[in-house]
């Protein structure tokens, strides 16, 4: 996994026009565009390491992340064209781009006490533009469905509905992480997926999301993946602590198997 910083974007954009090396058929290059819902526990590295422990394709990942950013903020800052033009590790264009909206669909709450989501039109407009930009570069976009806040579990109804409608309208695959999260909360309420803020994922929550990502991206079950995943530690707002890999998550094998099964069944039933 690698981070794509602003400072090197001009150089990387030039490299993108260089002749591309042949890509191995058993690898898929995946770029994440989002915020802290990716860099907490380094979802990108967890996904890549998970794929290396399974029989399917290796998902080689990179990311461009800003804490608290909505898709509208990514667009307004003007950096997405350069990010998307940055070549994958083999010099080719990205195969997949995972698009992650802010956890409240990028808008303030309509009601802070109930967690009711506000006007969804900004999400609908900006996700359409980002998907267009991704497709212009020959990559396949995917929408990362986030989950309800711990205090407002019923949010998942509106979140899932908005993502699914966007996926249908734009003909884009939706990564149903929020639905898998909701199932685990229902089946095993004693199992904590959140950090103390009731919003961000703890390592277990990120492992669940990585499992859903793997299933969606490959069409294969993540069952049998390692229960311990390594990668680069990151701090808010997405700053690499050290290039030395560390253990990002280490679960009991039974728990890992349960999360893998939930992820696969959630994706398979869509």
The pLDDT, as a whole number, for residue 234 is 86
pLDDT value of position 199: 97
Cβ–Cβ < 8 Å for 83, 68: no
Taking a C-beta distance cutoff of 8 angstroms, is the pair 203, 50 a contact?
no
pLDDT at position 181: 98
Could you report the average pLDDT of every consecutive run of 10 residues in the chain (270 residues)?
A: 43 32 69 96 97 96 93 94 91 94 93 94 97 97 98 97 98 98 98 97 98 98 98 82 93 98 97
Q: Name residues whose C-beta falls within 8 Å of residue 254's C-beta, 6 or more positions apart in sequence.
A: none
Q: What is the pTM of this model?
A: 0.90
For 57, counting Cβ atoms within 10 Å of its Cβ (0-12 exposed, 13-18 middle, 19+ buried), the class is middle
Query: Whose structure tokens read 């819902």?
Result: 37
Q: What are phi and psi of 133, to 5 degrees?
A: -65, -40
Token look-up 């260089």 returns 18
Which of 3.40.50.970, 2.60.40.10, 2.40.50.180, 3.40.50.1110 is the CATH number of 25-268? Answer: 3.40.50.1110
Angle between the 177-187 and 253-268 helix axes, to the nearest 10 degrees?
A: 130
Domain residue limits, the chain: 25-268
């Amino acid at each position: 996994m690698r981070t794509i910083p602003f400072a090197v974007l001009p150089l990387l954009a030039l490299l993108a026009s260089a002749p591309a090396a042949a890509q191995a058929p058993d690898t898929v290059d995946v770029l994440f565009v989002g915020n802290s819902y990716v860099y907490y526990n380094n979802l990108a590295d967890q996904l890549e390491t998970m794929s290396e422990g399974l029989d399917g394709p290796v998902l080689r990942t990179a990311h461009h992340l800003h804490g608290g950013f909505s898709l509208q903020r990514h667009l307004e800052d003007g950096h997405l064209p350069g990010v998307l033009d940055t070549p994958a590790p083999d010099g080719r264009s990205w195969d997949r781009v995972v698009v992650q909206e802010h956890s409240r669909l990028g808008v303030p709450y309509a009601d802070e006490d109930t967690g009711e989501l506000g006007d969804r039109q900004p999400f609908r407009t900006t996700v359409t533009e980002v998907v267009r930009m991704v497709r212009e570069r020959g990559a396949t976009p995917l929408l990362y469905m986030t989950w309800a806040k711990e205090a407002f579990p019923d949010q998942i109804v509106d979140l899932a509905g908005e993502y699914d409608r966007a996926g249908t309208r734009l003909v884009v695959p939706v990564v149903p992480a929020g639905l898998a999260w909701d199932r685990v909360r229902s089946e095993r309420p004693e199992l904590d997926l959140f950090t103390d803020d009731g919003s961000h994922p703890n390592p277990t929550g990120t492992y669940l999301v990585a499992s859903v990502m793997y299933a969606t991206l490959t069409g294969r079950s993540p069952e049998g993946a390692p229960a311990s995943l390594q990668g680069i530690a990151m701090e808010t707002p997405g700053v690499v602590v050290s290039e030395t890999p560390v253990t990002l998550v280490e679960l009991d094998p039974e728990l890992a198997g349960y999360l893998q099964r939930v992820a696969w069944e959630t994706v398979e039933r869509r």
